[in-house]
Structure 1
Amino acid sequence: MRSNEEAAKRILTGSGLFAARARAERTGAITLSQTGVLRQLSKAGALTPSELADRLKTQPQSLSRVFAALEEQAWIRRRPAPDDGRQSLLEITRAGADVLAAEMRPREIWLAGALEKLTEAERDFLVVAAGLLEQLSEDDRL
């Protein structure tokens, strides 16, 4: 039985190596920051800049250039929040969804090929582990 600290080290090492390998499959057509914003908007729908920054664990000010670049490319659009016209909502456009899909496709192909080397039970285990990692990453109590 491992201690939580030992488990944390293994998980961080494994997830770090995996993330680096997945980044190597990038097309480079969009930046990592742009990819993160588009993925969050694709997953969550329209968000305020503050909500989006919270999900990305950063400050809204540090994303202002990313938002501007994405708006300039028409990959996101900004509209007034229905309940508070002083706030704006950001949402992904069809063009943004298309560029995100094109950026993610090489990674998905690489990972699908890598998963073929595993047993069905190992693949199922990784899917469960990925869900748990996602839960942990969204836990604000940490």
Structure 2
Amino acid sequence: MTPEQRRAVAEETRGAVTRLARRLRAERPPDALSNNKIGVLGHLYRCGPSSPGEITAAERQQPQSLTRVFAELVAAGLVRRTPNTADRRGAVLELTTEGTDALRRDMAHRDAWLAAAFDDLTDREIHVLSTAADLMDRLAR
């Protein structure tokens, strides 16, 4: 594949992923948690207990952008804050059972919409999407 062809595929992929992400956000219920809160819960679900700094770096946010989000998640009982045993000046955030449940509800709603959208696709197309999902996840890491 030529560099120009790779560039064209990159542009198509970026556009399609952007449109799908926008649609998935639109399919969230009106009372859903904010995107930042879901991002934090998702990070803790995937990575386990993490420092606020680790989360802000992984989410590509500024610390001050998530400070209030962390506090609101703790106040809502979705996240637990404990002292960092390696660095007493810091803290570790950990997902609570309630946080896991809230994240699963949010994901389930969007997964249901996406599964219903698959009704218009063939089994072969769904298999291609499964392969593409694995590849996009690898690219994202």
TM-score scaled by length of structure 1: 0.88
Q: Which residue of 1 aligns with 2:19?
A: 17
Q: What is the aligned partner in structure 2 of residue 91 from structure 1?
A: 94
Structure 1 residue runs of 5 or longer lacking an equivalent are: none
Instruction: For 2:73 and 2:26, locate their aligned partners in 1 and report how far apart those are by CA, in whole Å.
Output: 22
The reply to whether residue 136 of structure 1 matches residue 136 of structure 2 is no
Q: Are 2:56 and 1:44 equivalent residues in the alignment?
A: no
Deviates more, 1:28-37 or 1:82-91: 82-91
- Structure 2 letter corresponding to 1:15: V
Q: 2:117 aligns with which of 94, 114, 118?
A: 114
More helix by share: 2
Deviates more, 1:64-73 or 1:23-32: 23-32
Q: Give the structure 2 partner of residue 61 of structure 1.
A: 64
Structure 1 segments of 4+ aligned residues over 4 angstroms from their partners: none
- Number of equivalences: 138
Unaligned runs of 5+ in 2: none
Comparing 112-121 with 18-27, greater Cα deviation is found at: 112-121
1:124, distance to aligned residue in structure 2 (A): 2.2
TM-score by length of 2: 0.89
SS at match of 1:37: helix
User: C-alpha displacement at 1:44, in angstroms?
Assistant: 1.0
Coordinate RMSD, CA, aligned: 1.5
C-alpha separation in 2, matches of 1:125 and 1:81: 43
